[in-house]
Structure 1
């Protein structure tokens, strides 16, 4: 083998290595034959079968080393619903907002963005607070979001449940975690471009969490980190139905 061939092979291997590290992540949704009871308790057998993913520091892209702050997400589905489970380790759990579509991202919240069509600029945004308050919207322009307009969108069949392992809004004690279950009907995700959503649909998404513990700086976590604003569909991961 001459030196030219060696250089070509070396360049190819380097390219594979570099591009392989930048691939968008994948989460597996496990099929369940029984509907999930949305109460935030996560005691159905399917949640033990589903594979978890872990959120990273959204600014740095690094793993969250402190176990008391880690966030894990699982996914499953049945014939009619897509289900998500968030487990948020949190020493200070609080929430002041009490009405649907208040600006939850200013406090503690988990979020999922779901894209079911070929237009990366259009996707559903769902947020849930530790008090089980919902913000749901339909984004049409990630660079220039008209929040009051997009918040008029509602997912009619969306169900959420939250449990707190600790005491909500008691800031001077130490909490453990809060757990969120979501049930999102496939039919609620349909739009003018994708009129039917099912396990055969190619779905791209991302998971996030905002956390503000007393005496600490505001922290943001993501499955596929964006560096700053969460509204960066180019980095969304992929949902695979198993």
Structure 2
């Protein structure tokens, strides 16, 4: 009887973990950068020494990633004109075949940030970066029915990214360590018809993600505020707090 009860409890816990979230109380604190970081994919700028990291979780279960070699952390910074993000991705198998902007990076390995600056939940900016520093940027207007070719026509003109790899990119038979992505996103590039001016005074909602596809392993997806299934669930975006 005790074993049966334990099995029932395990199933119930798994069902709870896999249930899709409908809201989020997550917040990430962006530290003020008195000196703008050099966007080179390195974590040695003063802003990254003071910014607090947040960890991405298993997107399906919402559980913390226990394996040290797979963990992902993100830091946020800003100044009067720009948002800055730093992703640190532990990864034993770093690879990226796409070479052109707006190719479908989510089919390989990538980090992603979705940014919403208005009160219309279905409209937000999507940014993806691969370990080869290839970009995908788009403006989503219908998360349930995304016209990928059309939405990918959107470009953030001032977006800058830098990537460094601690390992050997696209050498699949060795063991890599990690890769880092630095992003600089001008506030003005995030403005839209509803929110014509974006800055530290703007209420910004966002989420961070990572797609990890290691050789011989099941594909994994990670999120700061887990969605359960599709990343495109603006109701569970967290909030950016400006320190």
TM-score by length of 2: 0.90
Query: How far has the Cα of 1:23 moved from its partner?
Result: 4.3
Query: Unaligned 5+ residue runs, structure 1?
Result: 1-21
Name the residue aligned to 1:97. 98
For the residues of structure 2 that align with 1:177 and 1:102, how far apart are their CA atoms? Answer: 23
2:24–2:237 contact (8 Å) kept in structure 1: no
Query: Unaligned 5+ residue runs, structure 2?
Result: 1-22
Name the residue aligned to 2:209. 208
The number of residues matched between the two structures is 221
Name the residue aligned to 1:7. none
2:37–2:46 contact (8 Å) kept in structure 1: no
Equivalent runs, 1:151-190 vs 2, <5 Å: 151-190=152-191
Secondary structure at the aligned position of 2:150 is classed as: helix
Distance 1:134 1:90, change over 3 A: same
Query: What is the root-mean-square deviation of aligned Cα atoms in Å?
Result: 0.7
Off by >3 Å, runs of 4+ in structure 1: none
Query: How far has the Cα of 1:36 moved from its partner?
Result: 1.1
Is 2:34 the counterpart of 1:28? no
TM-score by length of 1: 0.91
Name the residue aligned to 1:224. 225
CA deviation profile, 1:213-238 (whole Å, cap 9, x unmatched)? 00001100000000110000000000
For the residues of structure 2 that align with 1:99 and 1:202, how far apart are their CA atoms? Answer: 33
Name the residue aligned to 1:72. 73
Query: How far has the Cα of 1:41 moved from its partner?
Result: 1.1
Name the residue aligned to 2:5. none
Is 2:122 the counterpart of 1:127? no
For the residues of structure 2 that align with 1:113 and 1:159, how far apart are their CA atoms? Answer: 16
